[in-house]
Amino acid sequence: MSIGTKKEKIALAKDYFLSNNFSDALELLKQLDSAHPENPEIKLLLGVTLLRSEKHQEAISVLNQAIKIQPDIHLANYALGSALFVIQDYQAALSAFNREIELNPEYPDAYCGAGCVLNELGNYHEAFKAGSLAIRLDQDYADALNCISVALNHMYELQQARNFSIKAINLDSSNANYLHNLASIEKDLGRTEDAIQLYQKSISLKPNYSDALFNLSLIYLSKQNFLQGWALYESRFDIEGSKDKRAMHQFNLELAESGNILLRAEQGIGDQILFGSLFNKLQDLKEFRIYIELDARLLKIFRRSYPDLNFVEPHFLLHEDFLECNLGSIGSVFINKSESLNKRSESFLSAEKVKAQHIKKKILKTRRDYKICGISWHSNAKIGKNKSVELDSFIDILRIPNIIFINLQYGIDIKDIYRFSNLNGVEIFSFDDIDLFNDIESLFALVEACDFIITISNINAHIAGALGKKTFLLAPFSRGRHWYWHEGLNKSLWYPSIQIFSQNAVGDWSVPINEIKEKIIEEISHV
């Protein structure tokens, strides 16, 4: 059959496309586009084929041309939104999906696309609405059901989220993303064994699924299954949005023939302090010259505490042969079971003693017999809202007599603390001359000046633990709980001086706060 006419060529290109023969479809559609550059149908077909071929920038360019030629063309804006979503240009993707909805209000895919974008933008209520509109048009639309589930999960409607996720999986049990979403919900509900099975199943369907691999590693580590946990922990560099880069080598002492090892910094200050608890093991490796990158704010502290190691700022250039590894990978060599963390010293970092004594003297100027308690309640991290506590939740603790409470909380307006104190008849002492975010050396001294610490899981927990300071840690039930506050433990494996007080349910801090209050009263009464 002759395929010389435009119509016949378009029909053949569609056949190629439907049989997933995208290379032949592209070749034919590019010929057609060159011959008919003003034909919006050909540009739409070419744009969609480029999208399916994962040539996203080309697809965006061609689809924009189709829309310019014929602004009311159906499906072009949806395809454009899909391409923009993949390259994470979410605002532009949302605009494209909304234009498709205006042109094609009965098209459920456009609502679902908008809902997925809104989830990425953190607008979960609107995402739920968009997903619901898609379901109204197609009640068996699995992607839309999953979109609604994701939104509900972020809105803390975990049981409803679970129900929608199960509906999506019942429609398509081969979709790894649906299984991953349900695994995350089960984890947040405290059903870690179910979560493990679902993560494993999603990985069996999508072996390089980095998010599932990483989340599974965190569960294993939280359950002290270090062997499997560390192996999967390397997937942290592959997850979407990771700012850290994988070093050239896995940490392996047998490969370090030159005697030089460079550990590249990764993650935040708290994580760097955590892994710093293993530096005594590095210090014992006398046959190696070890360089360790750290956040510049930590350098002075670690140089004082580990004089035999070489601490440098990130992006340090070593003009010798060396084995380049990631700092967070050293756990796989030194910690293979929980017993590896036993018999740890109470402290492994030291504060500047003179500065700490000066601060303590200033605090106790008029109340020499009082105890000093540092307090911290907020985190700005991505998961910060899940582990932060409202300051007024501490009011009963703040009214315990014979304690001076010291503000350790960074990133807040001190005027708000004064206002809170005056309103509630309590006192929280703040040092206006210490930058709690940038001046980490002074923050160490301030923590050292305290008798004990009350904090959520933020940098202050790591500083207090590293100094061996008695600490009462508030840990979330599941969501927002870091793996190193291991599941089921009331005392930290990594920091022996930290006692862990956990939520019994998501969002409810009343039980652990009351437990801390009773613990403090009990300890003070025995002094």
Predicted local confidence at residue 18, as pLDDT: 87
pLDDT tier for residue 168 given thresholds of 50, 70 and 90: very high
Q: Which of 404, 380, 398 is nearest to 457 (CA)?
A: 380
Predicted local confidence at residue 527, as pLDDT: 56
pLDDT tier for residue 78 given thresholds of 50, 70 and 90: very high
Topology of 253-336 in CATH? Rossmann fold (3.40.50)
Q: Report pLDDT digits (tens) over 293-342.
A: 999 999 999 999 999 899 999 988 877 778 899 999 999 999 988 777 87
* Mean pLDDT confidence for 55-60: 96
SS3 of 416-453: the string is HHHHHHHHHCCCEECCCCCCCCCCHHHHHHHHHCCCEE
What's the rounded Cα separation, in Å, for the pair 87 and 91? 11
Predicted local confidence at residue 382, as pLDDT: 67
What's the rounded Cα separation, in Å, for the pair 284 and 277? 13
What's the rounded Cα separation, in Å, for the pair 482 and 199? 18
Residues of the chain with CATH 3.40.50.2000: 353-525
Residues of the chain with CATH 1.25.40.10: 6-186+194-200
345 backbone dihedrals φ, ψ, rounded to 5°: -70, 155
What's the rounded Cα separation, in Å, for the pair 517 and 523? 10
Give the CATH number of domain 353-525; options: 3.30.110.40, 3.40.50.2000, 3.20.20.60, 3.30.70.20.
Answer: 3.40.50.2000
Strand duo 452-456 + 471-475: pairing: parallel
Predicted local confidence at residue 256, as pLDDT: 57
CATH of domain 6-186+194-200: 1.25.40.10
Percent over 90 (pLDDT), the chain: 78
Predicted local confidence at residue 1, as pLDDT: 38
80 is written with which tokens?
């454009």
Q: Would the pLDDT of 377 be above 70?
A: yes
Which helix (H) or strand (E) segment holds residue 326: the answer is strand 323-326
Predicted local confidence at residue 2, as pLDDT: 46
453 backbone dihedrals φ, ψ, rounded to 5°: -130, 140
